Amino acid sequence: TLDQHWQMHAAPIADDARLVHLVDRTGQYAAERMRVDFVANASHELRTPLASILGYVETLADEAGEDPGLRQRFLGIVFDEARRMERLVEDLMSLSRIESEKFRELRTAIDLGAIARETCDTLATTHGDRGVDIRLDLADDLPPVTGDQVQLSQLLHNLIGNAMKYGRAGTPVEVTLESGPQSVCLTVADQGEGIPPEHLPRLTERFYRVDPGRSRSLGGTGLGLAIVKHIVERHRGRLNIASTVGVGTRVMVTLPAAPGALS
């Protein structure tokens, strides 16, 4: 009977319970699930603009190509959709580059203030039409941080870019760099509509967006904060996002100062 079977087989295990190994694979399954979701999401994000490009090109090849007004309009859409794919592919490549360089030692001393100035100048030009001014407040005694110039520049670009995208026209974005104990603290604050608290813990997930339509219409890929999180981790820093609906959002990044910089 089944009972006898159990007694026979369970006895030796019960005699020496130390032989029983339980392997917790929850983390492994969760990681695998995330990888599968990520590939599915990335494919979907690429397929949507691609389907649109194919549709418009097909129409252009037919009758619409004859009408100069229509042709211009459709070519404009094709260009915008292709740009969207380009941004997405660039962000996907950044993520995979950051991951593949995870174990390479960081050695270069970086002047974060100089990167902040450069990034603010660039964004003031490219996002200038949004009616949001950047105010940069740099402490004079900033120590260097040990890091990767390209990645730190991308971190600043993504955070200040978001503040300008989601900020309110006519209000400033404040970028502050100050020195903390053995560290450099970056704060990017905007006076946009803010983020409801239930979304805050998920913002750094790949493709997580509070308002997908709004993000897409502003040219967002949904990967900006995931990239920021990876860069902060790689530099052994800390990331904190605080937001109040109707008031604005404040993102803080603390990075350790280069060894010896403060002595």
H-type alpha helices, the chain: 2-15, 26-61, 68-100, 112-126, 149-166, 212-217, 224-234
- Phi/psi of residue 146, nearest 5 degrees: -85, 125
- Closer by beta carbon to ligand ADP, 146 or else 206: 206
Identified binder of ligand ADP from the candidate list 195, 232, 239, 253, rule CB under 6 A: 195
Asked if residue 123 binds ligand ADP (CB under 6 A), the reply is no
DSSP annotation of 120 reads H
Which residues, numbered 154-173, are part of the site for ligand ADP (CB under 6 A)? 158, 162-163, 166
Sign of the alpha-carbon torsion through 47, 53, 59, 62:
negative
Looking at beta carbons only, is 173 or 185 nearer to ligand ADP?
Answer: 173
User: Rule CB under 6 A: is residue 143 a binding residue for ligand ADP?
Assistant: no
- In this structure, what is the dihedral angle of CA atoms 238, 124, 189, 227, given to the nearest 10 degrees? -30
Q: 38-97: which residues touch ligand ADP (CB under 6 A)?
A: none
Could you tell me the smallest distance in angstroms from the CB atom of residue 67 to ligand ADP? 35
Among 191, 253, 184, CA closest to 225? 253
Report strand pairing: 134-138 vs 173-180.
parallel
Residue 98, interface with ligand ADP (CB under 6 A)? Answer: no
Q: From the list 64, 95, 136, 210, which residue makes contact with ligand ADP (rule: CB under 6 A)?
A: 210
Is 224 a binder of ligand ADP (CB under 6 A)? Answer: yes
Among 127, 209, 230, 234, binds ligand ADP (CB under 6 A): 209
Phi, psi of 63 (to 5 degrees): -65, -35
Sites of contact with ligand ADP (CB under 6 A): 158, 162-163, 166, 190, 192, 195, 203, 208-211, 215, 220-226, 249
